[in-house]
Amino acid sequence: MAESPAFLSAQEVGSFAYLTIKDRTPQILTKAIDTLHRHKSEFFEKHGEEGVEAEKKAISLLSKLRNELQTDKPIVPLVDNCVDADIWNQYLDYQRSLLNESDGEPRWFFSPWLFVECYMYRRVHEAIIQSPPIHDFDVFKESKEENFFESQESIDTLCLHLQQLRPARDLSEDRRKEEFLRLLQISLWGNKCDLSLSGGESSSQKTNVINSLEGLKPFILIDDTESLWTLLSKCKKTAETSVVRVDIVLDNSGFELVTDLVFADFLLSSELATEIHFHGKTIPWFVSDVTVHDFNWTVEHVRSSNEKSTSACGAHWADHVRVGRWTYHDHTFWTLPHPYCAMPQVAPDLYAELQKACLVLFKGDLNYRKLMSDRKWEFTTPFHQALSGFHPAPLCSIRTLKAELQVGLQPGQAEQLMASDPHWLTTGKYGIFQFDGPV
């Protein structure tokens, strides 16, 4: 078997990984520090002087982290006593073992990008949990909630559309397929539709969330949605236990999460699936990733909306959760630095859980990077090959491109894109539905 390509890393000056470590991560840390600072009086009201001391401690730990990162210091072991600290420190030892004597220690700009970026967020968590009594404070919560409220018009439009489809099982086969493909595309463009529509734009644009899809089609570089329809239609017919399970490994909260919930609701009401299992993060992660708090908060805020169709959707969702048609799972593996091909060894319980699904959908860019082991694959490498043996069930990556990594393209496709748009890999302008079917 051919040797796997090198990992993406920030040592390539000018690369997206380099710009992330050099500019974006320090900005994120600065914003987290600022957020803690702004909550100082709230911490004092809740916890008195102890709260103020905790805020100072967390800020000092985050400032230290920012300095280590900006000066490319060696990566240091975690010192908290969370359940995953040992696994992280073993992984750091493993990274150390890959280096030659001359290379010294693993460092921010030279170690694999996936490892150091995940490590940065894990250190943010460490800074907070080492600062009781504010140890459960989410430094990213405000920006997640802001995204939701800024997208209110788009959310209402989408919920109205979903309500008009009920009961979806009564739709003709053709119409059901058409809506299935439409809602998948909305889930793909989550942020895309949101960014063009939020910010108090005129009401005539409300329906753009749905109407803009046609114009976005040319930006879908790989579209395996027909295979998803075929697979689920087949699962429905052949399910021995009459259970058709779809798992969704979530990415961002806010508007994107709403698009995922709308799609999940449609799967149930059209009887393409009988149960949906959502997978999210155990701790705040990559700024906007979904935690159990974000998931429940979103369902509750949709349910308590003043818009009739929006609150009706929220009531359906709360009901799905209550009776177990929707299940939310979190697992520490999702916030470890390991690529997904390591899941059978590192988290066999999670791998076994995913094996119960008829289909697993992986949302977003970080999931894609972990599926692909964040390596410099050739653009034409087959998706199945780059998964490096990871295949708990038929799976599909749904992502807009925000990292210099993409496989499964046609010969010449990448070169053509590069000629017309040098930044095609990193702006989120292009999207994919990339499927790896039944083995």
Question: What digits encode the pLDDT tens for the residues 323-340?
Answer: 999 999 999 999 999 999
pLDDT of residue 2: 66
Domain end, chosen from 78, 108, 139, is at 139
Percent of the chain scored above 90 by pLDDT?
A: 88
Q: What is the mean pLDDT of residues 367-380?
A: 98
CA distance 193 to 190: 6
In a domain, 11, yes or no: no
Looking at the structure, do residues 238 and 312 belong to the same domain, yes or no? yes
Q: What's the pLDDT band for 204 if we cut at 50, 70, 90? A: very low
Q: What's the pLDDT band for 1 if we cut at 50, 70, 90? A: low
Amino acid at 335: T
In a domain, 6, yes or no: no
pLDDT of residue 191: 62
Domain end, chosen from 86, 116, 139, is at 139
> Could you tell me if residue 124 is left (phi over 0), alpha (psi between -120 and 50 degrees) or otherwise beta?
alpha
Looking at the structure, do residues 228 and 241 belong to the same domain, yes or no? yes
Q: What is the mean pLDDT of residues 386-403?
A: 97
Query: Tokens 């890999």 belong to which residue?
Result: 425
pLDDT tens track for 223-262: 999 999 999 999 988 877 789 999 999 999 999 999 999 9
Looking at the structure, do residues 158 and 123 belong to the same domain, yes or no? no
User: Which CATH number characterizes residue 85's domain?
Assistant: 1.20.930.60
C-alpha distance across the termini of the chain, in Å: 19
pLDDT tens track for 16-40: 999 999 999 999 999 999 999 999 9
Q: What is the mean pLDDT of residues 70-80?
A: 97
Looking at the structure, do residues 127 and 266 belong to the same domain, yes or no? no
Q: What is the mean pLDDT of residues 205-220?
A: 79
Average pLDDT of the chain to the nearest whole number: 93
Rg (CA), the chain: 22
pLDDT of residue 182: 97
Residue 392 pLDDT > 60, yes or no?
Answer: yes
In a domain, 306, yes or no: yes
Query: Which is it for strands 395-400 and 431-436: parallel, antiparallel or unpaired?
Result: antiparallel
In a domain, 7, yes or no: no
Looking at the structure, do residues 339 and 195 belong to the same domain, yes or no? yes
* Cβ neighbour number for residue 5 with a 10 Å cutoff: 13
Q: What's the pLDDT band for 101 if we cut at 50, 70, 90? A: confident
Domain end, chosen from 100, 124, 139, is at 139
Domain that holds residue 29: 16-139
pLDDT of residue 129: 97
Note whether 299 and 261 are within 8 A (CB): yes
Structural domain count of the chain: 2
In a domain, 31, yes or no: yes
Looking at the structure, do residues 133 and 188 belong to the same domain, yes or no? no
CA distance 225 to 364: 16
Looking at the structure, do residues 131 and 149 belong to the same domain, yes or no? no
pLDDT tens track for 257-290: 999 999 999 999 999 999 999 999 999 999 999 9
Q: What's the pLDDT band for 100 if we cut at 50, 70, 90? A: confident
pLDDT of residue 212: 87
In a domain, 5, yes or no: no
Looking at the structure, do residues 228 and 79 belong to the same domain, yes or no? no
Looking at the structure, do residues 159 and 232 belong to the same domain, yes or no? yes
CB neighbour list of residue 222: distance below 8 Å, 6 or more residues apart? 408, 409, 432, 433, 434
Token pair for 206: 């409300």
Residue 211 pLDDT > 90, yes or no?
Answer: no
* Cβ neighbour number for residue 19 with a 10 Å cutoff: 14
Looking at the structure, do residues 83 and 232 belong to the same domain, yes or no? no
pLDDT tens track for 311-322: 999 999 999 999
CA distance 341 to 386: 10
